[in-house]
């Protein structure tokens, strides 16, 4: 559809101009992933998807207002399919972010002197091969007697994130720390209103949360600040969960955000 951008990279091969349908779900504390369907994918690219360690990267957005990485990760085992629909070959598979990496990375490092939690988190992220998304942490403890990192990267991150008052997840190739107390993880705020991407009316959800539907917001992550404008449930919120769903050749091109009031 006019103005939409969807580029998919499989290993070292970047593809543009194909029909892409996607569904991406994100929430703190889990490995996020996506369902992808691509029309007209070459046999060479199809062969790469099934190879162990091959990474898929999906970048989506708009020609006039920029793009963002929606998902980046390895193929979930036993999900690769290839079929013919309406005379066209459709390749389908699921992508899980850093699932393979997190499963195999084990740590063995120590700091004999004073060290901060943020430095340790950056070290673990480096071992996973991901960057740390800019985050405003509720706490940033210092370990005066040093620190030892042993065992799985997953367990180490869970401990360090809890010390900082956060949950962690790997999203769009970045380590994201989401505060537990309702404070935004990042300073910037996305404004959604009747004239700025909001679709329909916000809806009250469970536990005081609100569901907001908008035109695709590729740069939004859990922990981001959201301002909702308009006559219904306006206010400042923090993104808790989100889902991106789109099709370059159909009507879907939306983000559904589950948000909670900002403190």
What are the DSSP calls for 6-75, one per residue?
EEEEETTEEEESS-EEEEEEE-TTS--EEEEEEES--HHHHHHHTSTT-EEEEEEEETTTEEEEEEEEEE
**Nearest in space to 215 (alpha carbons), one of 183, 189, 246, 173:** 246
Give the whole-angstrom CA distance, residue 40 versus residue 135. Answer: 39
Separation in Å, CA 171 to CA 2, 17, 130:
27, 25, 10
Q: Please state the pTM of the whole predicted model.
A: 0.78
Query: pLDDT tens for residues 53-96?
Result: 788 999 999 988 788 888 888 888 889 999 998 889 999 999 98
The single residue listed with the structure tokens 């907001």 is 212
Give the whole-angstrom CA distance, residue 162 versus residue 80. Answer: 36
**Nearest in space to 199 (alpha carbons), one of 241, 250, 253, 240:** 253
Beta bridge partners of 66: 62
Q: Which of 82-86, 90-94, 179-183, 191-195 has the lowest mean pLDDT?
A: 179-183
Beta bridge partners of 148: 110
Query: pLDDT tens for residues 122-143?
Result: 999 988 878 888 777 889 999 9
Q: What is the DSSP letter of 198?
A: B
Give the whole-angstrom CA distance, residue 102 versus residue 125. Answer: 10
User: Residue 75 is encoded by which pair of tokens?
Assistant: 């193929």
């Amino acid at each position: 559809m006019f103005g939409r951008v969807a580029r998919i990279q499989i290993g070292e091969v970047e593809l543009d101009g194909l029909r892409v349908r996607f569904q991406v779900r994100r929430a703190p504390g889990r490995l996020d992933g996506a369902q992808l369907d691509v029309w007209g994918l070459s046999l060479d690219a199809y062969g790469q998807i099934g190879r162990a360690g091959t990474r898929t990267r999906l970048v989506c957005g708009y020609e006039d207002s920029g793009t963002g990485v929606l998902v980046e990760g390895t193929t979930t085992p036993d999900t690769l399919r290839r079929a013919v629909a309406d005379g066209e070959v459709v390749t389908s598979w699921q992508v899980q972010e850093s699932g393979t990496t997190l499963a195999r990375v084990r740590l063995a490092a120590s700091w004999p002197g004073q060290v901060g939690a943020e430095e340790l988190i950056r070290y673990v992220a480096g071992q996973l091969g991901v960057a740390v998304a800019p985050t405003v942490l509720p706490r940033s403890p210092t370990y005066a007697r040093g620190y030892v990192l042993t065992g799985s990267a997953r367990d180490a991150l869970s401990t360090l994130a809890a010390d900082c008052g956060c949950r962690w997840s790997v999203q769009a190739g970045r380590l994201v720390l989401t505060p537990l107390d309702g404070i935004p993880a990042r300073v910037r705020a996305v404004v959604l209103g009747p004239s700025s991407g909001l679709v329909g009316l916000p809806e009250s959800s469970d536990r005081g949360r609100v569901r907001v539907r908008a035109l695709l917001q590729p740069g939004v992550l859990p922990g981001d600040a959201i301002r909702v404008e308009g006559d219904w449930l306006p206010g400042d919120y923090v993104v808790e969960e989100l889902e991106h769903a789109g099709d370059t050749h159909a009507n879907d091109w939306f983000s559904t955000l589950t948000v909670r009031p900002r403190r």
